[in-house]
Structures are given as structure tokens and as C-alpha cells.
Structure 1
């Protein structure tokens, strides 16, 4: 052995032992010291990349792995670890290409095959992902993750037989305490808020452990501190400050914040664009931070230096989220709102904003945050959402000239076999009716039409719409007689879109937040009678409406009037409600009080009402 290499080799072996034992920071230090001794050792560069990647520093991981591969491009493991880093950072096309490089060197490399299948899922190439993932379920070391990939791809394709088979294997893992199901996937896996909490807690604990960064617990101000001499610094964190459902709902809220009381900051870690929505959002905030290229630690440090008082997470555990930023507690108050319908699973998050329907007081034990209930509904809406001046014709949309149109505009991964079968029974019961869905995936269309045939329904009675800009999509709702919702994940923005466009929505309310959203929105628009509590009642209500055109017209007329009168579409008033909640959170903190659940009253300026064990109502200072 070359004497100059010996210390580097010892350090490399030490780092590997530390990494295997989960001591990632110490392993990183050992690898870095080894590289300092032998800068051109591809294995050391490779292992350093994996260690920093496990700590969530994916861009650094990519850099180290690429350096390793420049020195040793024939290493399939390094190519696969690069694919993993690309997947973790949301770069699915590059992940697929890196996995293909690994497979070119080792065609039967199962881990690279799974990386390739996972990248296909992220790229919406679901059929390819499903095909490869199914071959890996027999591999002992990859079976559980392969079944997860099968479940995801099959659900996206509405291949319910494959999804049901995968779900049985995943349930077996869960029953054995293996929390392999990501928190976001758990929402669609089962209408089970306890499961949703367990998966969120597991993910939050894993993130906190692998980042190896203790939360920055900021000091609580003395109760004698005055209620504030300046504006409250309010930050919203999201990857969706562009043409996205979250922006479509929230843009007007950002514009209508009381800038005399709140200094608003957008913290954006998503894509930039030159779209009108992106420009509108830039104008709405006092500050707009583009932090795409920053690490979670860097973003958290900047928030601390800026003196952010309240940080609102609009992503939660959804795709492209960065919970590691807020797990560092970079602001005294951390709020979970809108983007993720469930608990974040960590006490670092102080509050979750909901309402009496999506987060009833008796569900408080299912959340790690303190519950805040807004009046009417938790969901904000943008009254500037455009409707196209002219809508497409029924013929343009492939719809028949006459007959009832049942719309089911949810993302198809939300569609489940029991609800689809109910829809088929409705088509059988209402002659000439059609089911109108949104998907341009030929395999989805083929799978759903096969399911229709199994139910005795002519397959061409399923009509598939294409994706179009929001204004055109809202305008084409004129052809829908009603929107049919589903469980375990309701239509969220899709329900608001339909109600805004004047289309009644029939929903079945579930147990978890994600399955109660449409009920909240229907109550806030004055149509609680469209909320059912069983599949049989849901089907019966939809059938009754489909056969009573006068009742459907009454509902449409109600919704047309509601655009100007319903609480759901009163964005100015909603903004004041949410600001009341923020003020209560802030003033509790200034008074030295711990976070506690409360309900914001309908009357602006009235004291908030305590939830659970909070001793009294809490009057907000209007000074």
C-alpha cells in the first residue's frame, strides 16, 4: 500500500463505519479528511456524496457524485446514487438518465431498475414505471419499495387490481411497524387520520434525525413585552408561487393583507416563470425571496436574521416541499396551512389552520399542532379567477348534444373503484348521461373504459377532457350538470372551481381532513344538503338531482348568487379572519403563553374562543 494513501484509507474505513451506524455528520467529516489526504479517490468522493445526500443536502451530493464519476465513470453504484440524489431533489429526468447509465454498465442491477421506475413515476410515465416495478417485487432487498412504486403507478393509471394487490403488501408492512408509506401517499391510501399522523410523525422524526441539526428554539419574549411597535413579519413558504392551484386560491389574499400590520415575505423554492401569475405574486408581497439554490439551513438562517415572526408552510408533506427548513424552528411561530391536509407530525409546528368541519375539536388528538378554526371554511379563494368570455361547445368537448353530464374532474389518482362503480350505476340509471373526466393518458382511458364495460356500461359514455388554461377550464363547466366527488381524498381546489363556475358538487364526507374539504366548502357556500355520509346516500342524492332538472337549476341559481354573497368567496372578510388568527398567535407569544387551540369568531373584532383546555377566550388588541 502506498504510504501516502494509508491515512486516507483509514479515514475512509472510519467514515464508512460511522455512516452505517447513522452518524452522518461524523462520517462526512471522516470522508472530507480522507479526500484532503487523497483528493482523487473516487470512492471517497462517492461516499461523501451519499453522506451529505442522506442529510438532505442534495445539490452538494450531486456535486460530489459527479466528481467521483468523472474519475471513475464505470461505477454503476455511483450512477445509481446520483439517480437517487436527482430523485430526492425533484430532477426526475436527470434521475432517469443517471439510472440508465447505471443499467448500461450493469443491466441486471435491481436498485438502478427501481430508481428508473421511480423516475418514470415522477415523469408521469406510469405504464413504464409499473412494468419495471412489478418485476422487482420478488427481490428481497427491494420488495417493499417496489410495491410502493407499483401502488403509486397503478393508482395513477386507475389499474385498481394492481393497486389493490400492492396495497395488501403495503398494509402488511404497516401492520409490522414499517412506516414506508410517505405521508402524502397515506392520504390516498386510507381514510384514516391516525395513519396519516403516524406517517407524518415518522417522516418528521426521520428528517430531524438525518439532518442532525437541533431545532433553533428562539427565546419566548417576556410577558411584559409590549404588543409590538412595528409590523408583524409574516412569511409564506412554498414551491408554488407560479401557475399552480395554491397560487390560484391565495393570490388575492396576499394582495389584501393589511400592510399596516403585516410585512409579508414570500419564500419561494419552486420554479421561476414569466407568467402573469408569477408577476402578480411578486407585486403582492413586500419581499420576494427566491431560495431555490439555498440549503434548508441557509434559508432558516436568513429567516432568523430577517426576524420573521410567523412562518406559514403552504407545502407540508407534498411534492417539492422542504419541511427541513421549518424543522429548524427559524421563527417563533410556525403554521401549517392549506397545502397539506393533515398534521406535519412535529411539535415544531405550533398551529394548523382549519375549520370546524375539516378539523373538528374532537379530532385534536390526531394533530401535533394546535388547531385554529376559521369561520365558515379554512380555504381562501381568489375572486379574480377568470372565466373565459366564450366557452367551448359540447361538441368541442366530445359531449353529446343532450343528456346529463356527470363531471369528475379530480386528478384520476384520487378515483377509487367503489366510487367509480357508483358512477357506473348512475350512468345505467340515467339514460343518455355521460361521465366527464380529465385525462389525456391513453392507458388511463383504456383502464377506465374496461372498468365501465365490466359494469355493463358502454365505454364511450366516458368522455375525457384535455388540460386547458384555467379560464377555459372554468368556462367549460357550463356543460356539467354536477361534479361528483370521491374519497378518501376529496376534490379541494376542484370543488372551489366548480362552485365558482356555478356547478353543484355532491360529496361524501370522510374521517380525515383530506376527505372533509368539499363538505367545508359546501357549507361555506350555503349548500350543506349536498354533503352525504355514506356511499349509498351519495349515490341516491346524485341520482335524485340527475332526474330533477328543476332542482339542479335551483342549485345553479343559488351558486350564481353566491359568487357575490357567500362567505367562501368573500376574500376580504376571509383575510381579516386569517389575520385575526395570526394576531392571536403573535400576542399569545408576546404574553409568554404557549400555543393553544382557538376558534376565530364570525364577528371581526370579537374575542377568539378557546378550544379544548385553553382556560378562557382571548381578546386581541386592536392597537
Structure 2
């Protein structure tokens, strides 16, 4: 007869075999059986924690790993797995502490070094992350494929373009070998290439499906009543139902939804900051679900039980996203909207809300989803965004009393050397001009100043904006003369903020969704002439506007005149148009028809249209042959 230790060993070996084969449900069952026989066995607690982490059950994984470490605290692998679980749950500070414990026990443990570097990046300790990722990338470690993207990402955050270029070259080499090492979001910043973006998304979805979605999509079924209910149940999923850019754009849409036709549910897996925005959103929805502590499987199950008709993912692959909820197909119709400007790379997503500028009909094959083109711009805006009546003095912002102010308010991680060089040339061409930027990290400021000196520009001509509230930030746009955009990832909310505050924006239109958003927004306020198609054209336009005050004043007067009438800021009309798109998706589903791309007409309720190409006003002007 087998004794208990032999039975445990058998269960553990069986669980490990299942786990290595990717059979996570079977592995969990084996470990739980072992745990029922030995509730305080540190190895069993550890292994069960790791498999639950792989299945997306991060909080239970954390609890089990912590129990294991209380019994056996000298296990560096358990500490590192705890760090990984904390990272997956978005708890970067706790992840850093756990990784440090692992490294204290095993200083030459590469996996723990990778976890520590990732936790540093997630907690905005970018310089430390850059050093750690850089050491791993050049150490011939098995973690090199992950270290190079981490190094590239960290270098971008601190504008260390020497390290950025070194990492970029290594990543390009790996991509050329078919190694999809970039996260989907990083790929948007890495290259202006929709095909690459989709490839990276598909690679991550495949890994996520193996780890977290243990029923194939064809096996997941949603309740289908087969008849029209009195209201369409519409669920919005996000981690950003608080003071966040997404909420600043969408709050009014949530409030304006026709509650006689739609029952709206917020599925929130982000923090509750107890802010005025949070309270505003709580009132905007019919139901508000706080699911922070629930697993993706539990959230999907609750949504199916609630018979959600349409699930709208507002996060995609951005920070704190939970795409695995949507990969469980929690509703008959799944839509990607606003948060992620690219393909999700999965058949679980039926539609992507866009417009003809960001996703013209010719680009449809580059997306796994069916395209839904809004009439003007895909981006909704909140016309209740307050602009403070108290405008700061220029001196309070560190700006000179006289001189042209170029603003570049994008996250500095979006800046590339080629666009920064263009901005430096503009400073040379426009005497007494300054470049006004938002950058809260001293390492990045130091590096940007160093880069300015390389271009022969005095560092005093770089002005870094102080941290203020959104209302104050919108008000201080009065000191900006022109907002400069960049590629491959445009200013999105940043462009809307500038246009709302009356500041013209010059953009360069790229090839992929992320690099075409500013063009879409300018089209929707009637200023397509501010859209360029090459760096020389972009630079020439910015220079012309900086040296022709009458032309710049015309643009500012236009923005002031159309602020209450432009399609970009007509939230009521946008809401009705988006609702007509939702109704069309829902009715196709009820008729048993598959998802199909369409363009939404100007008039809500009118018949849907075929997908459209780029508006003529945004197309490049043919240049005369030399």
C-alpha cells in the first residue's frame, strides 16, 4: 500500500506533466487533490499557485504562493513566481519586493532579474529598469528575447536614444526571424506597420488562449433568446472608470445613451479613486460592476448569465487590460473601441469601431475584426470637459513673455529621434521660440536637454510643463501657439484637448491606425489642411504657421467658431450614430448573420453603408514631377 508521501509525489508528478503540456485544468485538479491530502505542503501550494497564475486567477495564486513562502521562505523560485503573479495583477511595487527577495536568495537568478526589471518599469522607475533589462539583454540569457523589448521600452521612457536604437536593431533582427517578441502595444510605438501590429496581437492571443482560455472559442456559447428584448444590454469593459483620459473622452456618451433602448453596464476592473469623475460615471450607468478581484473566467460567466448582448472592450492591449475576458466570448457580439488603436488579432472580437481616415476600406484585410466606420472621427468627446477660468501666467509655466511656443504634449515615450530633430530645426528657424513639453521624469529631461545640445539648441529653449489638473492644463493651452504631433503613434486625446482649447495641431499622417488619429480629428473639426504626409511637408507647414501670424490666427478663429458645431464635439449626434451601429450589429446577430463591416451614415437610423476610403481632403496632393 502506498504511503501519503508516495501518493503526493504521484499527484505532483502528474500535475507537472499536465502543466508542461499546457493542460492547466488537469494540472490544477491534480494539485488540488494533493493539497486536500496535505494542506500545508509548501511545494504543492507553490505549484497550485503557479498554475492558477497561468490561468489568470492571479489573486488566488498570490494567496497560495504567500502561504507556501510562510512555510518555506528560502525558496527563490516561489518568490519569483509570486513576483510574476503580482505583475499579472498589476501590483508592481509588491512584485518588485518579491523579486528582490528572490535575488537576495539567488543573486544570479535571471528570471528574477527579469521580474525585477519589469516591476521597475511598471512602477515608473525607468532608469533602473533600463539598466536591468540592458544587462539581461547582453548576458546570453534565455530571457534575452524578452529583455531587448524591455530595454527598448525603458529607453523610450527616458529618451535614451542610444540604448533605444541598440535595442531596436536587436528587435528588428528577431522580428525578421519570425520571433514576435513585441507586446501588441509596444508594436504600435515600434513601427508604422499595421501588419506587424496584427502579427504581434495574434502571437499574444495565441499565448493567452493557451494559458487562460481553456475552452476553445467554438465551444463557448452565449445565451441567445432568439427574440428582441425590450432593451439591448450593452456592457463597457475598462480599468479606466476614474480620472483617466478614456473617462475624459467618454463620460458624456455614457450619460447620453438612450436608456429606453439600451441598458448600460460598466464592467470595471480598475481602481476606485473616489474622484468626481468616478462618481459621475457611477451615475451614468444602469449598473456598475466592480470586478477587480474576479478572474477573467468569473467575469465572463457573470456577463453571460446577465445575458449581455454587446460587450465593448475599451482597453484592448493597453496597460491594466484584461483581454482574456473578451476571449471567453462573454457576449454574442464583442466590440473593440477607443482604447487600443489596432487589431486585437482574434476572432473573438467581431467589430472594431473606427472611421475612414484611420482604417480605410483598403486596410480591412489588416484587421481580424470587421470594421465599423463612423461618419467623421471614431473618437467621442466630452463637451463638459471644464477649462479653468483662471489662466496661469507664462512665467508660472516657465515660458518666456515673448516668442513662439511650440507645444509637444505627447508622452515623451512617443518621441522619436527623427521628429525631435525636426523640432530642433524649427527652433533654429524661429528665433526666440521654445518647445513646451510634458515630462515628469528627471532622467528623461536630462536626456532631452542633452539631445538638444547635440542639435545646437540651448537647453533653456526646452520648457517642461508642471503637473496640474485637467481643467488647468486645458486653460494653459492659451500659452501654446501650435501643437506638434509625431509618428508612429500620434497624439490622440492630446490632439482633442488642444483642439477643444483652440490650439491648432500639425500632424504627419502615417500608415497604421495609431498614426492616423490626429488626421481623423482634424478632419472632424474642418482643418484637413493641417494634415501632412511626409516629414519635409510637416516641417514646412509648422514653419510657415510659426512665421505667418495671420494664418495662425485664422486657424484659431476657426476652432473657436466651430467648437459647438464641429462633428468632433457633437456628442449627442455621435451617440445616436454609435447607437445605430450597435443596433445594426445586434440585429445581424438576431438574424443569424455573421459580422460584416459597414460604414455608419450621417443620419442616425438610416441604412448602413459600404466601407469607405480616406476622405479626399486627407489624401496626399500629387507632387509635380521634376
TM range (shorter): over 0.9
Query: Number of matched residues?
Result: 609
Instruction: Provide Cα deviations, 1:535-570, integer angstroms capped at 9, x if missing partner.
Output: 110000000000001111111110111211111000
How far apart are the structure 2 equivalents of 1:550 and 1:556?
10
How far apart are the structure 2 equivalents of 1:161 and 1:122?
22
**Equivalent runs, 1:62-211 vs 2, <5 Å:** 62-137=62-137, 138-211=139-212
Instruction: Show structure 1 runs of 5+ residues with no match.
Output: 613-623
Instruction: Report the CA distance shift for 1:540/1:125 in structure 2 as closer, same or farther (over 3 A).
Output: same
**Equivalent runs, 1:386-397 vs 2, <5 Å:** 386-397=386-397
Which residue of 2 is the match for residue 497 of structure 1?
A: 497
How far apart are the structure 2 equivalents of 1:113 and 1:229?
53
Three-state SS of the structure 2 residue aligned to 1:234 is: strand
**Equivalent runs, 1:345-384 vs 2, <5 Å:** 345-384=345-384
How far apart are the structure 1 equivalents of 2:472 and 2:601?
37
The CA RMSD over aligned residues, in Å, is 1.5
Which residue of 1 is the match for residue 624 of structure 2?
A: none
How far did 1:363 drift? Answer: 0.5
TM-score, scaled relative to structure 2: 0.95
Determine if contact 2:100/2:116 at 8 Å carries over to the other structure.
yes
How far apart are the structure 1 equivalents of 2:224 and 2:293?
33
How far apart are the structure 1 equivalents of 2:533 and 2:487?
11
How far apart are the structure 1 equivalents of 2:222 and 2:449?
59
Determine if contact 1:221/1:591 at 8 Å carries over to the other structure.
no
Which residue of 1 is the match for residue 621 of structure 2?
A: none
Which residue of 2 is the match for residue 616 of structure 1?
A: none
How far apart are the structure 1 equivalents of 2:298 and 2:2?
40
Three-state SS of the structure 1 residue aligned to 2:563 is: helix
How far apart are the structure 2 equivalents of 1:218 and 1:15?
29
Three-state SS of the structure 2 residue aligned to 1:233 is: strand
How far did 1:219 drift? Answer: 6.2
Which residue of 1 is the match for residue 620 of structure 2?
A: none
Instruction: Provide Cα deviations, 1:104-158, integer angstroms capped at 9, x if missing partner.
Output: 2122222212211111100111011111221112132121222121111100001
How far apart are the structure 1 equivalents of 2:116 and 2:351?
38
Three-state SS of the structure 1 residue aligned to 2:564 is: helix
Which residue of 1 is the match for residue 269 of structure 2?
A: 269
Three-state SS of the structure 1 residue aligned to 2:503 is: coil
How far apart are the structure 1 equivalents of 2:589 and 2:286?
24
Bigger drift between 189-198 and 173-182 goes to: 173-182
**Equivalent runs, 1:531-610 vs 2, <5 Å:** 531-610=531-610
How far did 1:381 drift? Answer: 0.3
How far apart are the structure 1 equivalents of 2:395 and 2:65?
54
Whether 1:338 and 2:338 are equivalent positions in the alignment is yes
Instruction: Report the CA distance shift for 1:79/1:221 in structure 2 as closer, same or farther (over 3 A).
Output: closer
Bigger drift between 468-477 and 8-17 goes to: 8-17
Which residue of 2 is the match for residue 619 of structure 1?
A: none
Instruction: Show structure 2 runs of 5+ residues with no match.
Output: 613-626
Determine if contact 1:373/1:599 at 8 Å carries over to the other structure.
yes
How far apart are the structure 1 equivalents of 2:583 and 2:282?
24
How far apart are the structure 1 equivalents of 2:32 and 2:174?
37
How far apart are the structure 2 equivalents of 1:174 and 1:45?
38
How far did 1:229 drift? Answer: 4.3
Which residue of 1 is the match for residue 509 of structure 2?
A: 509
How far did 1:4 drift? Answer: 2.1
TM-score, scaled relative to structure 1: 0.96
Which residue of 2 is the match for residue 214 of structure 1?
A: 216
Instruction: Provide Cα deviations, 1:386-422, integer angstroms capped at 9, x if missing partner.
Output: 0001111110000011000000000000000000000
How far did 1:425 drift? Answer: 0.2
Which residue of 2 is the match for residue 28 of structure 1?
A: 28
How far did 1:610 drift? Answer: 2.7
Determine if contact 2:48/2:64 at 8 Å carries over to the other structure.
yes
How far apart are the structure 2 equivalents of 1:221 and 1:53?
32
Determine if contact 2:189/2:488 at 8 Å carries over to the other structure.
yes
Which residue of 2 is the match for residue 295 of structure 1?
A: 295
